[in-house]
């Protein structure tokens, strides 16, 4: 029986999708392969799920600054699983112009979730990453039927800054999600508030000035405080349950995607799972790695961030359980051989090994990757 090579890369951001990376690597290897593009919950998660057998569902939703845009989620009818990627509807790449840290909304992500639930989803996996907003998931909750009201009973405008005026949350019109399991796939462990929270850590990446960060922190604090009276339940809350939402605000992962993690935990009672590990299970990595002689993973940049739960390390950990060696391909690498081996990766090959000019690496990533894969084949396959 001919053993296969399992090719399970993430995207090369700005150059190739995960599926394109897998295809180029397979072409360069020249041996039997199984292609399994992967993602860690951020950009490209829907694409990876579709490449793994899910169907793409595209609808029109509200973008981060209010414009109507087409966005997709992945759907598997047989199991009624839906994979919703926040970046599809509410990501930085969806901004039509400059960044809008105070007013950007997660509303479109809620519209994707609502469509999946109405389609009959029994499980919704929410991938968080690449967010343009710091609204605590308020927009997502609004799209699902929550009303966020000020003291005069008026609906708040969208965005994190408006949350400073939040007086109460009306969940009487919230979408019926009974019987639907929600899973947040994210490796971010930040709480909602404080120096390690959504506004302080990620706000500047979304264009927030130091003054904006203070404004957003105040809005998120108000959201958490008001949510202590509801924390996602329909109707009244018993007194001894009231502290739960503040506990959710401090939960690891509540600060993911500008606080969308908080809303998912508080309003959807979601379970937080490690992004890459959970998605590998969903995509059937455990079955595909059986009988493989080698696993090839990778991403655009193998660096310190890769060690914090990114796809290549997650793939290496999963492959180790099956006793299959792992090598990585990438655009560039800053990790040492020792760091790679500690993460379970035997060796890494970068496009910059072939072409030192980063601009050419980006522009010619496909052909260079095929050449790199041929080198991997010589060292790790044909020498056996």
pLDDT of residue 43 exceeding 90, the answer is no
C-alpha to C-alpha distances, 22 to 17, 212, 285, 330, 332, nearest whole angstrom: 9, 41, 14, 12, 17
98 and 187 belong to one structural domain: yes
pLDDT of residue 318: 95
Task: Find the largest Cα–Cα distance for the chain.
Answer: 74
What is the domain range of residue 191?
Answer: 45-275
Question: What's the chain's average pLDDT?
Answer: 91
Pair (230, 351) in one structural domain? no
Determine contact, residues 36/324, Cβ cutoff 8 Å: no
Q: Which of 110, 106, 111, 71 is nearest to 88 (CA)?
A: 71
pTM for the full model? 0.86
**Model confidence over 260-303: pLDDT tens digits?**
999 999 999 999 888 888 889 988 999 999 999 999 999 999 98
223 plus 307 within the same structural domain: no
Determine the Cα–Cα distance for residues 262 and 128; give it in Å rounded to an integer.
11
Q: Which of 275, 303, 325 is the last residue of a domain?
A: 275
Residues 6+ apart with CB under 8 A from 153: none
pLDDT (0 to 100) of residue 245: 55
Shared domain for 145 and 213, answered yes or no, is yes
Q: Residue 41 in contact with residue 65, Cβ under 8 Å?
A: no
Asked if residue 69 and residue 201 are part of one domain, the reply reads yes
Residue 283 falls inside a structural domain: no
Q: Could you tell me which residue, 241 or 50, shows the higher pLDDT?
A: 50
For residues 314 and 209, state if they share a domain: no
CATH at 176: 3.90.1510.10
What CATH number does residue 23 fall under?
A: 3.40.50.10350
Q: What is the pLDDT of residues 225-253, one digit of tens each?
A: 998 776 643 333 333 333 455 578 888 89
What's the CA angle centered on 185, arms 159 and 240, to 5 degrees? 70
Any domain includes 20: yes
Kindly state whether residue 84 falls inside one of the protein's structural domains: yes
What does DSSP assign to residue 201?
I
Q: What is the pLDDT at residue 241?
A: 38
Residue 346 vs residues 82, 307, 331: alpha-carbon distances, Å: 34, 14, 17
User: Is there a single domain that holds both residue 174 and residue 125?
Assistant: yes
């Amino acid at each position: 029986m001919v053993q296969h090579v399992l090719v399970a890369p993430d995207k090369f951001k700005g150059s190739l999708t995960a599926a394109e990376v897998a295809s180029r690597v397979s072409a360069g290897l020249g041996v039997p392969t199984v292609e399994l593009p992967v993602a860690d919950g951020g950009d490209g998660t829907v694409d990876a799920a579709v490449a793994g057998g899910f169907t793409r569902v595209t609808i029109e939703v509200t973008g981060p600054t209010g414009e109507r845009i087409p966005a997709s989620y992945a759907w598997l009818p047989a199991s009624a699983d839906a994979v919703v990627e926040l970046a599809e509807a509410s990501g930085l790449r969806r901004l039509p112009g400059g960044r809008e840290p105070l007013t950007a909304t997660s509303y479109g992500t809620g519209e994707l979730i609502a469509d999946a639930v109405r389609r009959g989803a029994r499980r919704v996996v929410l991938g968080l990453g690449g967010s343009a907003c710091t609204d605590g998931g308020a927009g997502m909750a609004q799209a699902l039927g929550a009303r966020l009201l000020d003291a005069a009973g008026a609906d708040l405008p969208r965005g994190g800054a408006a949350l400073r005026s939040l007086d109460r949350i009306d969940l009487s019109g919230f979408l019926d999600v009974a019987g639907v399991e929600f899973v947040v796939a994210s490796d971010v462990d930040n709480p909602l508030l404080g120096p390690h929270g959504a506004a302080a850590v990620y706000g500047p990446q979304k264009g927030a000035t130091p003054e904006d960060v203070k404004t957003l922190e105040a809005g998120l604090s108000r959201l958490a405080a008001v949510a202590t009276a509801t924390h996602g339940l329909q109707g009244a809350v018993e007194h001894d349950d009231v502290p739960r939402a503040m506990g959710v605000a401090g939960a690891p992962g509540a600060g993911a995607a500008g606080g969308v993690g908080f809303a998912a935990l508080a309003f959807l009672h979601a379970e937080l799972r490690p992004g890459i590990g959970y998605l590998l299970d969903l995509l059937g990595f455990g079955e595909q790695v059986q009988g493989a002689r080698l696993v090839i993973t990778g991403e655009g940049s193998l660096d310190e961030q890769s060690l914090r739960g990114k796809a290549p390390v997650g793939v290496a950990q999963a492959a180790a359980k099956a006793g299959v060696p792992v090598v990585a391909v990438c655009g560039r690498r800053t990790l040492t051989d020792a760091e790679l081996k500690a993460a379970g990766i035997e060796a890494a090959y970068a496009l910059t090994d072939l072409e030192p000019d980063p601009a050419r690496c980006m522009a010619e990533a496909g052909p260079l990757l095929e050449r790199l894969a041929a080198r991997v084949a010589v060292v790790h396959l044909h020498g056996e």
